Amino acid sequence: MPIDFSLTDEQKELQKLARRFAKEQIAPIAAEYDAKEEVPWGVVEKLHEVGLLNAIIPEAYGGLGLGMLEEVIIGEELAWGCMGIYTIPMASDLGITPILLAGTHEQKQRFFKKLTEKPALAAFALSEPGNGSDAAALRTRAVREGDHYVLSGTKTWISNGGEAETVVVFATIAPELRHKGVIAIVVEKGTPGFTAHKLHGKMGQRASGTYELVFEDCRVPAENLLGQEGDGFKIAMHTLDKTRIPVAAGSVGVARRALEEATKYAKEREAFGKPIAEFQAIQFKLAEMLMGLETARAYTYYAAWLTDQGLPQAHAAAIAKAYASEMAFEAANQAIQIHGGFGYMHEYPVEKLLRDVKLNQIYEGTNEIQRLIIARHILSQ
């Protein structure tokens, strides 16, 4: 099957829209909301207005029905403006994906309406204080009582957890069954027994809300169950196989911003009577940054293409996520080095790029987990 990454006219217009939005609405306020450690809800409202929020929801349910490549195109642009702010719509798509994968027509109608009729967010609650990479070891309990499940437990590091209208929660009906006992169930905002506590003191991505979610005898209608009992772990893994690709796209956006900022500074900053851009040591850094950026973008597009074609893409998503996030971290690091002492100060945006993109190496599966996925793919051949 031929692979062609030439963007259609519609995709080019989408890219222009997202690029303009990032430049005009995100970049100017990124430092402010990073410092305040607050979610810029005005930006969320504007994303909804222009159609860039929850855009993966199918047209039949009120969304745009965008494919993975379109999601990647948008992601690079928004993350260029601020990786933390981009995490807000990205994490909402993460919360939408399990419903797309396993929800019934009725569930999609019911839950997606909440996410399209007004500016609203979704969330994905898998990680717990005692487990991160070992997702099958979760301890949040779900006990069936009549036509409800009663949830008890704690989730942590949940992006959008306190703002979300719908949260897909993964719980176990029997911890001894590990992955075979996991369910996925949608908990709606305001459900009695469900509380969210914002986490403070993050290194980066401070403009996105990260929460601890507590469930205390939280009664959730059984009609909110996605799939069947025991399907939860599979739903979670299939979700992450898809949603790691937008993380890679965000990393590409950060790397592009790092290269642009470093190039601009290198042309302006003088040492020994000439711009530092004329020194080979600086030129080599810029060249390495572009090599990594172009490679990461091309592979991220490839992973997105596989997804849109319905082809196996778990290993490709893992490669894209791990490579792009590590490349972007190094690009931000080199951008700081090029800026010298100024790069270490809030006056320039490059130190924030480094703090923000570090999380891309951790969330939605650490890069060590990505290497396990890649190795298993190799050994299964």
Q: Average pLDDT, whole number, for the chain? A: 96
Distance (Å, whole) CA 246 – CA 300: 8
Q: Are 265 and 348 in contact (CB under 8 A)?
A: yes
Structure tokens at 172: 């176990």
Q: For 204, phi and psi rounded to 5 degrees?
A: -150, -170
Q: What top-level class would CATH report for the domain 233-380? A: mainly alpha
Structure tokens at 223: 């009609």
Q: Are 224 and 177 in contact (CB under 8 A)?
A: no
pLDDT level of residue 137 (50, 70, 90 thresholds): confident
Distance (Å, whole) CA 259 – CA 291: 11
CATH number of 9-117: 1.10.540.10
Same fold, 9-117 and 233-380: no
Q: Are 46 and 29 in contact (CB under 8 A)?
A: no
Task: Please tell me the least confidently modeled range out of 42-56, 81-95, 170-184, 192-206.
Answer: 170-184
Q: Are 22 and 84 in contact (CB under 8 A)?
A: no
Query: With 80 as the cut, is the pLDDT of residue 214 above it?
Result: yes
| Position 315, amino acid | H
DSSP state of 128: B
* pLDDT value for 132: 66
The pLDDT of 61-80, averaged and rounded, is 97
* pLDDT value for 4: 79
Q: Are 326 and 247 in contact (CB under 8 A)?
A: no
pLDDT level of residue 312 (50, 70, 90 thresholds): very high
What amino acid positions are annotated as catalytic residues? Answer: 364
Please state the pTM of the whole predicted model.
Answer: 0.96
225-277: pLDDT as tens digits: 999 999 999 999 999 999 999 999 999 999 999 999 999 999 999 999 999 99
Q: For 164, phi and psi rounded to 5 degrees?
A: -65, 140
Distance (Å, whole) CA 117 – CA 114: 6
* CATH superfamily name and code, 122-229: Butyryl-CoA Dehydrogenase, subunit A, domain 2 (2.40.110.10)
pLDDT level of residue 130 (50, 70, 90 thresholds): confident
**What's the residue count for the chain?**
381
The pLDDT of 115-125, averaged and rounded, is 97
Structure tokens at 334: 């080199």
DSSP character string of 15-77: HHHHHHHIIIIIHHHHHHHHHHT---HHHHHHHHHHT-SSTTS-GGGTS----HHHHHHHHHH
* pLDDT value for 1: 61
Query: With 90 as the cut, is the pLDDT of residue 342 above it?
Result: yes
Domain chopping of the chain, boundaries: 9-117, 122-229, 233-380
Let me know if 152 is exposed, middle or buried by CB neighbors in 10 A (0-12, 13-18, 19+).
Answer: middle
